[in-house]
Amino acid sequence: MKSRILQSAPRRGFIKQGGAAAAIASVAPAWAQAGDIKVGLTTDFTGIAAAFTRSTLQGAQMAVADINEAGGVLGRKFVLLTRDSQLKPDLGTTHTRDLITRENVDILIGPNSSAVGLTVTAVAKQYQKPVIMTTANTPRLPMELFHPQFFTLVPSGLMEARAMAEVLGPMGKRFAFIGGDYEASHQTLKYFKDRLATVNPSATFVAEAWPKLGEPEYSSFITRLTSAKPDVLFSYLWGADFVGFARQAKPYGLFDRMKVGTLLFMDDLKALGPDMPNGVYGQMRAPFFALQGEAISRFTERYRARFNDWPADWAIMAYESMLVYAAAIRKAGSVEAQALTKAIETTEFDLLRGKVSFRGIDHQADVPSFIGRTTTDSRYPFKILADVSRVPAQKIWPSEDEVRASRKG
């Protein structure tokens, strides 16, 4: 049976559980002699993912501050140590090993890049250190490369592709695709097509477009897509690539000629502002504006006050990872890897996205995929998603047989 650990994210929530509540606000906690609980974060502060990393860091920093203001965990202070992997897997290996062997970190949270994530989890496995992924989401992590100390709070790329097929699949018979010409994009289209064949057996693909990453000119791709006259366009462009495509496609009327579904990040919505077309089916991982409850409302308010920004999905998931660790360490009574792993496995957590637990076979969190339509909202200087559906993890994650099959050989 999983025991339930209550959400302790907001400062008031921590104080209520802290014991010496009256003293926390005015007196520095007396830290235990056992020393700090060190959290290692190897991620990509340099390169195209820098904006995502900034949000990840801010979410983690905010959680550390909240935990420590409440007296820490087991009387010990949380300390966050970071390294810049620069989107380079070899640096992921070097820096993570350094954090473990030289800095003596107790626990790890994962990077933005899936390529770096593969190296971080390999080092975590070697040294038997728990690691929670908060952004990287290649399906290889929870499937064939799984190890007992690995956990993920992110729906995998396989789950996200299946979710989009579930939502977009019934919308037409003629489908088209555009995505960057790299492994994850090709992999995503395969997953989408596999699920589409079940959702809508009569569906066919009439066009595929594969621009290079960082492509500045999309006119030829846009012409090819509109000429094929699809009912639905599935996009796996993101970041600056999606922003450039959207701005160039809008004058062609592409968004009026077909339904469009795409992975969306807060950074994309903010970059496009009013130029983001309405009615696009966007998929997000933890959209603050679509989450409900007092916890996310307080978190958003406090995040805004601290960073003068709206919390991106990355900030929310990083914050949640620290809550998972804090609650699990409290339950385990130590940071010893096996005890901590068991505590995470057997606990249901109340996080900003709601109740979350981790499946035993792959330590995939049962988090949903959020899909809605872009629209204007006067409360925000960017478009948000309306009519948001939560596609449950249980509907889109791989079966246990699929997971086992991925690990054979």
CA distance 332 to 371: 36
What 8-state DSSP symbol labels residue 108? E
Average pLDDT over residues 324-332: 98
> With contact defined as beta carbons under 8 Å apart, do 234 and 168 qualify?
yes
Give the model's pLDDT for residue 50: 86
Q: Which two tokens stand for residue 274?
A: 């009013």
Over the stretch 57-110, which tens digit does the pLDDT of each residue have?
999 999 999 999 999 999 999 999 999 999 999 999 999 999 999 999 999 999
Task: Name 40's bridge partners.
Answer: 81, 108
> With contact defined as beta carbons under 8 Å apart, do 248 and 218 qualify?
yes
CA distance 340 to 107: 10
Q: Which residue has the tokens 């593969």?
A: 118
Give the model's pLDDT for residue 29: 64
CA distance 298 to 296: 5
> With contact defined as beta carbons under 8 Å apart, do 162 and 170 qualify?
no
**Domains, the chain, with CATH or none:** 3-155+290-367 (3.40.50.2300), 158-284+370-406 (3.40.50.2300)
pLDDT at 6 exceeding the cut of 70: no
**Angle subtended at Cα 43 by Cα 42 and Cα 46, rounded to the nearest 5 degrees:** 130
- Cβ neighbors of 46 (< 8 A, separation 6 or more) are 84, 86, 87
